[in-house]
Amino acid sequence: MIRPLSGVTVLELGQVIAGTYVGTILADLGAEVIKVEPLRGDTARNPGIVPLKGESTIHLFANRGKKSVALDLKDPRGRELFFRLVATADAVVDNFRPGVMSRLGIDHAALQKVNPEIVTASVTGFGEDGPAKDRPAFDLVVQAYTGHLSITGEPDRPPSRVGTPLADLAGSLFACIAVLGGLVGRGLHAEGFHADVAMLDSLVSLLAYDAVHQLNTGEEPTRQGTAHAHLVPWQAFAVRDGYVVIAAREEKFWQRICEMIGRPELEIDPRTADNQARVANRELVVETLEEWLAPRRRDEVLQELQAHDIPSAPVNAVSEVFADPQVQARGLVQTYQHPVIGEVKYATTPFLRQPDDRPEAHAPVLGEHTEAVLVDRLGLDRSEIEALAAEGVVGLPHDVASSRSGGDHDG
């Protein structure tokens, strides 16, 4: 089938997650994503972090569906090859620190001279300007800096990070949106576009209504665990063999809860009759539900909740997620064949649900596509490529000591 971005070429100078998951999504949408790596590879290839059979699961997750071209951008000949690729491309994505693209001579202004309609997106920790722009940033640093740690976790415990690398993923998603917007705008206005996407900005944006509340009332959001500061009941409850969450946002759901637990009087009790009263009497509500829930098994509780059409869910372990009939029915677990380690299972992009939608492309071996891309796109012949490889300008799979060694990006 023809995917939405079929015919679009993206050059990715990405490392680890923030600059690479962008390309994964674009590749899933049909773009040809050419991952331009240093000769030692993207640091996501480091198998010492989350290893699987000698490969890094970060690389296996974040780089599927791409082509790998190993290129030394610090060598003038490597830069020249990159510029020639830019002339054939539609977008360039990077996540170097601010200033690195300029020092390499390949920032947006330089690329526009080669391709006036090029769309570029740079994902950084703190953005391209401001007093913190040069600070090193990882996901944990940005989660802390943006207040997400301060509102995550139990009230009487230390702050907690969101379990997934939220800052990296958010930066990638906003960069992906920016690239898509740039491609649409280029088609309408015949102009290039540059997006300065900071992980900082992305997570500040995702403070959402908590930001609106704090900015307009001066009140600090606080850690609530799984509970909600403004809705009761809305949290996880312990049952005999695990936990379930109950989210009674509307009064009709509270009324159904009262029916389920055999306490119809709580529907009219002034302490619990509406959400405002329940927030003021949170302990009463929680203790009442805990008393009913604690001796029951999780499956029994969930059956009761579903029978009464109350928004609820088990607190699943990750293994339970992938065994769940709904997850399986949605086709969210897919596989690809990796040339080194064989079958790799992964959680697919949400919009690729039908078998015909899904590309069968693996995360590439370092330099796996160097020759093919330079031949097909730039017209180089095998002898030229071999000579460049011998001089350390480009990397071929057999030239690389290990496709798992990590990288040397100045990021």
Judgement on whether residues 255 and 356 belong to the same structural domain of the protein: no
10-residue averages of pLDDT along the chain (411 residues): 90 94 95 96 90 92 95 96 98 96 96 97 96 94 96 93 95 97 94 96 96 96 93 97 96 97 96 96 97 97 97 96 93 90 91 64 93 96 95 82 41 37
Judgement on whether residues 54 and 124 belong to the same structural domain of the protein: yes
Instruction: Please report how many Cα atoms fall inside a 13 Å half-sphere around the Cα of residue 263, on the Cβ side.
Output: 15
- Cα–Cα distance measured from residue 245 to residue 314, given in angstroms and rounded to the nearest whole number: 6
Judgement on whether residues 134 and 196 belong to the same structural domain of the protein: yes
Identify the CATH number of the domain in which residue 153 sits: 3.40.50.10540
Judgement on whether residues 258 and 311 belong to the same structural domain of the protein: yes
How many domains, in total, are found in the chain? 2
SS3 for 61-79, per residue?
A: HHCCCCEEEEECCCCHHHH
Per-residue model confidence (pLDDT) at position 1: 67
For residue 42, the SS3 value is coil
Tell which residue, 68, 78, 71, has the closest CA to residue 368: 68
Contact predicate 203/150, CB 8 Å: no
Q: Which of 316, 350, 368 is the last residue of a domain?
A: 316
Tell which residue, 317, 339, 320, has the closest CA to residue 53: 339
> What is the DSSP secondary-structure string of 197-235?
EEHHHHHHHTTHHHHHHHHHH-PPP---TTS-SS-SSEE
Per-residue model confidence (pLDDT) at position 19: 92
Place of tokens 């020639």: 84
Active site residues: 168
Tell whether 211 is covered by a domain.
no
Per-residue model confidence (pLDDT) at position 122: 97
Q: Which of 316, 343, 358 is the last residue of a domain?
A: 316
> What is the DSSP secondary-structure string of 282-317?
HHHHHHHHHHHHTTS-HHHHHHHHHHTT--EEE---
Judgement on whether residues 296 and 389 belong to the same structural domain of the protein: no
- Cα–Cα distance measured from residue 123 to residue 54, given in angstroms and rounded to the nearest whole number: 28
Identify the CATH number of the domain in which residue 241 sits: 3.30.1540.10
Whether pTM exceeds 0.85: yes
The two three-digit tokens of residue 306, written as one number: 């579903």
Tell whether 251 is covered by a domain.
yes
Tell whether 227 is covered by a domain.
no
Judgement on whether residues 297 and 339 belong to the same structural domain of the protein: no
Query: Residue 246: which H helix or E strand, with range?
Result: strand 242-247
Tell whether 105 is covered by a domain.
yes
For residue 238, the SS3 value is strand
Per-residue model confidence (pLDDT) at position 356: 59
2 Cβ contact partners less than 8 Å away, ≥ 6 residues apart: 30
In terms of residue numbers, what domain contains 111?
9-206+330-399
Tell whether 404 is covered by a domain.
no
Per-residue model confidence (pLDDT) at position 354: 62
